Structure 1
Amino acid sequence: MFVVRVFGDTHHPISYLHLTGSFPSRILPFLYLGNLNHATNPTMLKALGITHVLSVGENANLPPSEFRMLFLENLYDDGIDSLWAHMDECIRFIEHARLNNQICLIHCRVGVSRSATITIAFIMHHLRMPLVQAYLFVRARRLNVIIQPNLKFMYELLQYEQRLRGSAGVFWGVLSKEVHGLNMCYREV
């Protein structure tokens, strides 16, 4: 058994056998963005200090005695399902973690579309950023993993920006063309 020290903690060694080889992305000191593998690894979650898990469409099935959970059921990344009705609930859940000096992981299956959308919305809310700036903020912190909200989710983020700021910072036609272009380069691979 190999032992790794996480963040200098010598009291709780972690076996490499319990790690998937990757970690969720730290977006803010109290907020991580990840995937289902991250969310189903309680050893890693504890090592990172994560206390809250927001599951978007994919249930992590963690022990409720150890983690505070919010599970948004039956939400698919299909261009049909909407996250709009859940935005405020998700923001409150993340804020609860922040205000109690705790840490939240947001995840979906791969951490690219549904959970990235909620993360962008939170950044828009918390840092008072316009949509494009919040998108770039999250994308830069995702390191070697893309974020790729589908067009419906991007439209909902544009609506969220209008609600927060009173107007959209970008025209939908321009934004949808740019998102489509970004998404096409990954489909050709």
Structure 2
Amino acid sequence: MAEETEGYTALSKGEEKQTYIHPTIAELQKLLDSKHPSFSHHVNEVWPNLYLGDLFIAKNRYELWKLGITYILNAAHGRRLCEGNNDYGATITYHGVPANDSPDFDMSQYFYSASEFIHKALTSPGDRVLVHCAVGISRSATLVLAYLMIHHHLSLTQAIEKVQENRWICPNIGFLQQLIHLDEELHSARSKNMQEQKAEIC
């Protein structure tokens, strides 16, 4: 008899069918709403050496120094109230993503490039990366979720739950839909890869 586990339909023998149940927008909204918003912190470590924060922390060089930040990904580069630039000096590597916090904005075009930037930072010994936008809950949170999905093979739900352990986030509905598509794309690619590996073994 089959049972539902971690979004998969699992057989009684422990084998997984190739059917992945993707979360709906309503389910994701319910998950996001399950955590009470708290803006008591401008920045939080949501993954080892990966910090998610707002504009205040991005402009506070003393706090950046205390945190040991060496990479900054600005998800609101060049936007109003968040005019990103790369004048941090030689101690910080900067990358800007000119995103609007609008459901109609295509954030997915930056999923892989932003994830590679974060991955490069986190695979360099001693480096730490700050991902921020204006408030640190939508644009920047979306890119952090994409990174966890792409490089750590977390499902979208798992990625949200992981970030929520340390910070309240609220990606807009358009970004959530784009993350669902990424979730589908990644699962499909990994399922295909597993099938090819099994075929080679057989």
TM-score, normalization by structure 1:
0.71
The 5 Å alignment of 1:32-111 reads: 32-57=51-76, 58-61=82-85, 62-73=87-98, 75-101=99-125, 102-111=127-136
Contact 2:102 2:174 in 1 (8 A): no
Gaps of 5+ in 1: 1-20, 168-189
SS at match of 1:166: helix
Segments of 4+ in structure 1 off by > 4 A? none
Q: Which residue of 2 aligns with 1:132?
A: 157
Read off the aligned partner of 2:136 and give its amino acid letter.
G
1:89 is matched by which residue type in structure 2?
S
What count of residue pairs does the alignment treat as equivalent? 143
Deviation at 1:65, TM superposition (A): 2.1
The higher-RCO structure (CA 8 Å, 6+ apart) is 2
Q: 1:63 Cα shift? A: 1.9
1:36–1:60: 8 Å Cα contact kept in structure 2? Answer: no
Within 5 Å, which residues of 2 pair with 1:169-180? Answer: none
1:181 aligned residue: none
Q: CA deviation at 1:49?
A: 0.9
CA distance in 2, matches of 1:110, 1:118: 14
The partner residue of 1:153 within 148, 161, 175 is: 175
Contact 1:124–1:131 (Cα < 8 Å) also in 2: yes
Runs of at least 5 residues in structure 2 that lack an aligned partner in the other structure: 1-39, 77-81, 190-202
Question: 1:69 is paired with a residue of what secondary structure?
Answer: strand
Q: Normalised by the size of structure 2, how large is the TM-score?
A: 0.66
Kindly report the root-mean-square deviation, in angstroms, between the aligned alpha carbons of the 2 structures. 1.6
- Cα deviation for residue 128 of structure 1 reads 1.1
